[in-house]
Each structure stands twice: as C-alpha cells, then as structure tokens.
Structure 1
Amino acid sequence: MNSAIAPFHEPASAVAQKRISRYDWVSLGADLDQHGSTAIEKLLTPEECRAIAALYPHEEHFRSHVHMARHGFGKGEYRYFKYPLPDIIAGLRTALYPRLAPIANRWNERLNDDTRYPAQHADFLKACHEAGQLRPTPLLLQYVPGDFNCLHQDLYGDLAFPLQVAILLSEPGRDFTGGEFVLTEQRPRMQSRAEVVPLRQGDAVIFAVHNRPVAGTRGDYRVNMRHGVSRLRSGIRHTVGIIFHDAK
C-alpha cells in the first residue's frame, strides 16, 4: 500500500467500496439519464485530495507528461499514472465501475448498440488489453492562471467505456478562481447546450464520455457530449480523472 495517499487501516479497495455504497445510485443514475452528468459530494477527504495533488511533481508515479498547448488541447498540463495505480485511485476505479456498467448497458440498448460491458472492471480491462489497449488512463491535471482545457472527448482506442469520473482536488475560492468544469451537448439540428457543474474539494462528477441517449417524440436519439475546463483566473487547480478503458 502506498501510505502517502492511502493511510488507511484497511485496504484502499475496501475503503472505496464502503464510500461508493453510501450514495443513492438510483438517484445518480436518473441524473445521468436526464442530464448526462451527476455530482457525488465528498468522495475524497481534504487530506486525500492534498496527498494526491502532491504526487504531481514526482515523475516515478506517471507514464507520460502532456503539455496541452503543444497539441492544441488548450493550456495547462497533465500526467498519466502508470501501473500499478495509487491505491485509492485503483480502488475507486474498481468500485465505481460496477455501479456504472448497468447504466452504460442501458444506454447502449436505447441506442441500438450491441456492445455490452461486463459486470466487473477486471473483465473489461482484460478485453481492453486483448484489443491492444494496455496503457492506463487515470490522470492528474494541473492548471495555473490562464490555463484552460478545450472541449474534448477521452477516446483512446476501439473500446471506450461511455462514462468517466473527475474529482476536484482543490477548493474553489481558496485555492483558485475560475476553472469551472463545463459540459456541452450537441443534439441533431439544434445549437449546442452548455452546462457548468459546480464542484467543491473532494467532489466528483460522473459524465458521458462521447454519446448518450435522449428521449424524443419518436424514441431515443443520440447526442454528442464534450467536456472541458474554463480559464483559470488565479491560483492552482488539481483534478484527478478516472477513465475506465485503457489506451493503445
């Protein structure tokens, strides 16, 4: 166990399972169906948030370092964790997936997509690895004044789980200003709709990676989702992203 970020008296996986089980997943699922996103309050403690953010300068935890401006992604930077993941991040990834897989399968059924996701994350990762998607995708993002993240979708190969999670590690108003999490939704023959998701330190947002179904007068139809972060005005902002598929 990495005691720097999981100082628990029991395994981080057990801690994550207990935390996940205390939330109302029927209500969270209904929010996802209606809006394409939902927030989970206080998923991490302030101490855990600070400990995870403190990993950022230590390259031994990461497989790559991306400067957004070099690739036209925006302005800011992030690092992809390498395997083995930090205990608490691995635990949350494993614990969240079984709650989200039924929602993902329901969405695909509504969209007439034959893809179905297994009940456990280990089985989904096995499918990713068999498809040549071997690199871990959880990441730690850092923004300083003037930084922003362009609207995008986190697709890394043929296999992509349709939901992902971002956890805010910094406290708005104290650690930074600006830097709001933004979602946009493009419906057929309509203008894009934008939504800002307010988060506090330790809060998580679950959101659609790519597409989601919306009920229309003639049945369900597919809408295209993107997400990003608005310009940071002051301070420093850290976020951890939990993506359930691995990358090529």
Structure 2
Amino acid sequence: MTAIAKIKASVATPADRAGMIDWTAVADELASQGAAVMPALLTPEECREIAALYPDDKRFRSHVVMARHGFGKGEYKYFSYPLPDLIGGLRTSLYPRLAPIANEWNQRMGIDTRYPAEHQEFLALCHRAGQQRPTPLLLQYVPGDYNCLHQDLYGDLAFPLQVAILLSEPGRDFTGGEFVLTEQRPRMQTRPEVVPLRQGDAVVFAVHHRPVKGSRGSYRVNLRHGVSRIRSGRRHTVGVIFHDAK
C-alpha cells in the first residue's frame, strides 16, 4: 500500500478524501489535457470489496452486454438506489469540487447552463426533467474485451465531468486494458491520450467537450473515452457519473 493509500485508509469519510485532493492541480490538468488522475482515491481493500459486488444482481438496476449494442466487448451493471455508501459518498463529495470547473468551462464556451453548488440540488433538476435512474456503474472485462470510444450522455441534463476508478491492479490482475481518451479539434486530426492508472486511482475527465484557448477566444473540442483490449486477466472499474438517466 502506498503512503497516500495508508493515509486515506484511515480517513473516515468521502468528504475528507475529497478535501485531500489538490484541486488546483486537477483543474490545471483538466484544462490542458481533458483528464486528471487522482491517485489512490480508494484503498486496495475497498477496490476488492466493490469489485466483489458484481455477481450480486440485487445491487443493480440493469445489466448491459456491450456486444449486443455495438459498444465493444465486455459488460457492465448500473447500480440501483440506494448506492453503496462509499460510491454514493464520493459522488456527493466530488461534485461540489467539480461544479466550479464545469461552470467556468461553460462560461468560456458560451453555454448558459450553470450547475448548482451541491449534488442533491443538481439531482433534483435531473429528476424534474424525468432523469431519475442512477448512473454509477460497475464494469467487468475479460481477455479480448474492450470498450469503444463513446460519451456517457443519458438525457437533456448532463454534467460535463465524470470519474472512473480502477479497481484492479495492472500487471497482476490484468494486462492491456488502458484507459483511452481522444480529442477532436476543428480542422485537426484526432489526438489520443492514454491515461496510466494503478489500483485505486481515479481519473476525472470531460464527458463531451471542453474549452481550448484559441487566437480568437475559447472554442469547443469534442472528447470520447474508451478502454483498449484486455490481453489477460480480469479488469473491474467503477464509473461515477453525476447526472441521472431517463
């Protein structure tokens, strides 16, 4: 266990963990790359406990086999409400740190939408818009599986940032399976970014688009994310999406 993980293992609440993150560094990395790593957000034991939920269908509202929908190969399950305490707590605690970044991005891109300070306020807006189904999910990949490049948009309301936490250890539990982000700028070829993660690391990234400074002000670039082919072993990831779905 790393020194950071040892510290976080003794931290009682997700709010305390969120308070330990260098949010200035996260905002800077998001601004320059569209993604930022938050190391050791979960301990190895917590990662194993969350991954072990996968066979328990009572914890989930739906099960998606990617190949049936052209999403790639692999599968995932959407959690039901109430969410597991740790996942629900992180969703609630990370959102207020990310909302100012999202609002600043929208201002720069000329988008009128502004996000409330607290997650429950944002969920209330989602629910009034008919988006009432929880979106945090648990993904499972085995050899040959992959996730096609995509965007997680589930309705008219979509929070522009989301978080994925790697629950398995690269090189020990699986090989391959890198987190991949692509960025398409106007009149330019697509830029790929491979984000290295260890067990318990979280990556926060743009769901749809982000602002980039140009010679005439900021303009929007389009982003997609996915996972490269698993070569051996089994890979579990938990996705924390802040908007609910229709």
CA deviation after TM superposition for structure 1 residue 218, in Å: 1.2
Q: Deviations over 1:169-188 (max 9, x none)?
A: 00000000000000000000
CA deviation after TM superposition for structure 1 residue 135, in Å: 0.1
Match of residue 7 from structure 2: none
In structure 2, what is the Cα distance between the partners aligned to 1:228 and 1:105? 25
Q: How does 1:127-142 map to 2 (within 5 A)?
A: 127-142=125-140
| Superposition misfits of 4+ residues, deviation over 6 angstroms | none
Match status 1:99 vs 2:97:
yes
In structure 1, what is the Cα distance between the partners aligned to 2:237 and 2:197? 11
Match of residue 26 from structure 1: 24
In structure 1, what is the Cα distance between the partners aligned to 2:134 and 2:34? 24
Describe the SS at the equivalent of 2:100: helix
In structure 2, what is the Cα distance between the partners aligned to 1:156 and 1:39? 24
The counterpart of 2:84, out of the listed 74, 83, 86, is 86
CA deviation after TM superposition for structure 1 residue 161, in Å: 0.1
The counterpart of 1:205, out of the listed 193, 196, 203, is 203
In structure 1, what is the Cα distance between the partners aligned to 2:188 and 2:151? 20
Q: Once superposed, what is the RMSD of the aligned Cα atoms? A: 1.3
The counterpart of 1:70, out of the listed 62, 68, 71, is 68
CA deviation after TM superposition for structure 1 residue 27, in Å: 1.1
Amino acid at match of 2:21: Y
Amino acid at match of 1:81: F
Aligned pair count? Answer: 238
The counterpart of 1:53, out of the listed 51, 58, 61, is 51
CA deviation after TM superposition for structure 1 residue 223, in Å: 0.2
Describe the SS at the equivalent of 1:117: coil
In structure 1, what is the Cα distance between the partners aligned to 2:33 and 2:98? 15
Match status 1:241 vs 2:245:
no
Describe the SS at the equivalent of 2:221: strand
Q: Deviations over 1:137-190 (max 9, x none)?
A: 000000000000000000000000000000000000000000000000000000
Describe the SS at the equivalent of 1:17: helix
Describe the SS at the equivalent of 2:111: coil
TM-score of the two chains, using structure 1 as the length reference = 0.95
Amino acid at match of 1:115: T
In structure 1, what is the Cα distance between the partners aligned to 2:179 and 2:48? 19
Describe the SS at the equivalent of 2:181: strand
Describe the SS at the equivalent of 2:212: strand
Describe the SS at the equivalent of 1:91: helix
Match of residue 160 from structure 1: 158
Q: Deviations over 1:5-40 (max 9, x none)?
A: xxxxx9x9x610111111110111111111110000
Gaps of 5+ in 2: 1-9
Amino acid at match of 1:113: I
Describe the SS at the equivalent of 1:38: strand
In structure 2, what is the Cα distance between the partners aligned to 1:174 and 1:113? 44
Amino acid at match of 2:195: V
In structure 1, what is the Cα distance between the partners aligned to 2:161 and 2:239? 11
Q: Deviations over 1:83-104 (max 9, x none)?
A: 0000000000000000000000
